[in-house]
Amino acid sequence: MTGPLPPPYVRIVACGNADRGDDGVAVAALATLLPTLSRDLLATIEVRRCEELRVDDLADLPEGTACLVVDAVAGPPPGTVIRRGLEDLASDLTCTPRSSHQLPFDIVLGLAGVLHGGPIRGSFVGLAGQGFGYGSPLSRAVRSALPAFRDAIEAEARALAGIRPGA
């Protein structure tokens, strides 16, 4: 008989609409990345899929669990991979998460921090999109950058989980 699963080290929150062009890049990247991850890394992560980042996705993080938010962004040249600490992203005006957030990112993060009892520890990995039209496929720029995007997600997840690359 086994006990309850220990809490994950990393919660990956995949934001975006899969049917809105490049807005679906987080879901597309994780769908192809997860089957390739090592068992030790898979054992430390959980993945939540959401269209928009919600306070609830951050506020109930278990003690010691970090959060990795993955989303499309607008602003930088299409295909650019963005890596930021969560708190840095809230004050970075050069790029904004592309998913429709009912509250601004800094408010979601701040409110979740208050309810969580402390700052939310974690990172953001984004990929700059080109088009977000309904029913559109991923743009060429985003498709070309998908391998680098997946690598960045895995590297960030490993760093947050404290697992060395290749372990």
Partner 1 sequence: MHDIGGGTGTGTEERFEVAGITRVEGEGSLRLVVRDGLVTEAHLAIFEAPRYFEKLVVGRTPDEVLDIVARICGICPIAYQMSAVHAFEDLLGVTVDPAVRALRRLLYCGEWIESHALHVYLLHAPDFLGCANVVELAARDRASVERGLALKRVGNEIVATLGGRPIHPVSVRVGGFSRVPTRTELEPLRRALDAALLAAQATVDWVSGFEAPVFEREERFVALHHPDEYPMNHGRITSSDGLDLAPGDWGAAFAEEQVPWSHALQARMADRVPYLLGPAARVTLAGDRLHPAARAALDRTGLAGSIARNPNWSIAARAVELVHATAEAIEILDGYTPPERPAEPWTPRPGVAAWSTEAPRGLLFHRYELDERGRVASAAIVPPTSQNQVAIEADLTAFAPSVLDLPHADATHRLEQLIRSYDPCISCATHFLDLRIEPGATGEAQP
Beta bridge partners of 15: 50
Rounded-to-integer distance, Cα 67 and Cα 113, Å: 12
Q: Which is nearer to partner 1, 34 or 103 (CB)?
A: 103
Q: Rule CB under 8 A: say whether 56 interacts with partner 1.
A: yes
Q: Does 92 bind partner 1 (CB under 8 A)?
A: no
Angle between helices 25-33 and 140-161 (to 10 degrees): 60
Q: Judged by CB under 8 A, which stretch of 7-15, 22-30, 102-110, 119-127 contacts partner 1?
A: 102-110
Cα–Cα distances in angstroms (integers) from residue 129 to residues 51, 123, 138, in the given order: 16, 19, 8
74 sits near partner 1 (criterion: CB under 8 A): no
Residues near partner 1 (CB under 8 A) are: 17, 51-52, 55-56, 100, 102-103, 107, 110-111, 113-115, 134
